[in-house]
Amino acid sequence: MQGRVAFVLKGYPRLSETFIAQEIAALERRGLEILIISLRHPTDARRHAVHDEIRAPIVYLPEYLLLEPLRVLRAWLRERKKSTYIAARSLWLRDFMRDPTPNRIRRFGQALVLASELPRDVKHLHAHFLHTPASVTRYAALLRGLAWTGSAHAKDIWTAAEWEKREKLASCEWLVTCTAANLAHLAALAPPGRVELVYHGLDLSRFSLGGKGNTERNGKDPSAPVVILSVGRLVEKKGTDVLLDALARLPAELHWRLVHAGGGPLKETLERRARGLGIAARVEWRGARTQAELLAEYRAADLFALASRVARDGDRDGLPNVLAEAQSQGLACVATRVSGIPELIEDGATGLLVAPEEPEELARALESLVRDPLRRRSLGEAGRQRVTQKFGLEANIAHLARKFGLGQA
């Protein structure tokens, strides 16, 4: 693939999307020249160390068209003169008739700016996420006469309309997704061979196995409670309310402490729930953490728990990177059978899986591991080996690099 590739992202940098940053950094190390296009300005006050390793310049499109009207107007005046404009506008109008929302208008305005300002040495567009970024990318690619590709992950797959997924999959050159569950769904909507599975992979150079804390804690000593860690945004699909309900069901004589890392809109609601359940004193809400801070949390914990579910709007996890991160540190994991999670965790062999929305079952699984440090250690080591063998970054990024024309580099 000659020339730079523009990666179109919804927002950059984001603490919650480390997997995208580590992918960009890995592809740059293999020789891919990248330009980052972000539809939104960053909202996180801090960055991961990997963000500072990335050399790619960043272009921010108008987040709201009314805030940069002259920029949008100049782009429209330039693009409307092109022979490709009528086809791009017709495509957008067809989409708008089926989705008459302000967001759809914003996508076309952003695409006009992207097409107008895109440097001439950019020869390919790649959208991370199949919803908004892929829409902007598709319109801009048509305006510029370029091929486009994409990566699909979680919410962008499961909350999008079927007609839109079908049409985007028909128009892109190729698309990769991060779980076999995603692949099965998207392949049924796409031309044969259009969609491929590429796990995100964990950068094991950043998550090398380190010394662990006291893995002998068994919940009997009130001065040494078992530390249960959960990491994830405080949104419905993460099921943190279910985890709290499960913890409240643990026997009173069992001593444990929950550490939660991650921010989100449900923080106050979940704090109230913990108080209502009588467990607030045992729960620490740490908020968003950098990758280095998360690594310290993993190494201080005894057990990892994630109660993912399918949200009411259909949103769900793909394969949460935090599970692979926890396993890389030898932490036994308790999680739910949702989406791609069973592709990583083999129930009873490398962790424990329970049904989503079942706090009683989750409580039993947690109790069994809180009481049994030897089993925690056994499951944690098996999980670490599986992550190392199948879910490392380098093995998975090699396939993606070939998709971008980097050969065996």
C-alpha separations of 230 from 81, 113, 214, 387 in Å: 53, 40, 18, 18
Spell out the domains of the chain, with CATH numbers in brackets. Answer: 4-201+392-403 (3.40.50.2000), 226-390 (3.40.50.2000)
Walk along the chain (409 residues) and give the pLDDT tens digit of each residue: 668 999 999 999 998 888 999 999 999 999 999 999 999 998 887 888 899 999 999 999 999 999 999 999 999 999 999 999 999 999 999 999 999 999 999 999 999 999 999 999 999 999 999 999 999 999 999 999 999 999 999 999 999 999 999 999 999 999 999 999 999 999 999 999 999 999 988 988 888 765 554 578 999 999 999 999 999 999 999 999 999 999 999 999 999 999 999 999 999 999 999 999 999 999 999 999 998 899 999 999 999 999 999 999 999 999 999 999 999 999 999 999 999 999 999 999 999 999 999 999 999 999 999 999 999 999 999 999 999 999 998 888 999 999 999 975 4
Of 205, 202, 232, the residue nearest 241 (C-alpha): 232
Provide the pLDDT for residue 262. 96
The DSSP output letter for 392 is B
Of 321, 306, 305, 296, the residue nearest 201 (C-alpha): 321
Task: Give residue for tokens 């729930």.
Answer: 273
C-alpha separations of 36 from 6, 112, 315, 384 in Å: 6, 17, 26, 33
Read off the pTM.
Answer: 0.89
DSSP 132-160: HHHHHHHHHHHHHT-EEEEEE-SHHHHTS
- Interatomic CA distance for residues 380 and 119, integer angstroms: 48
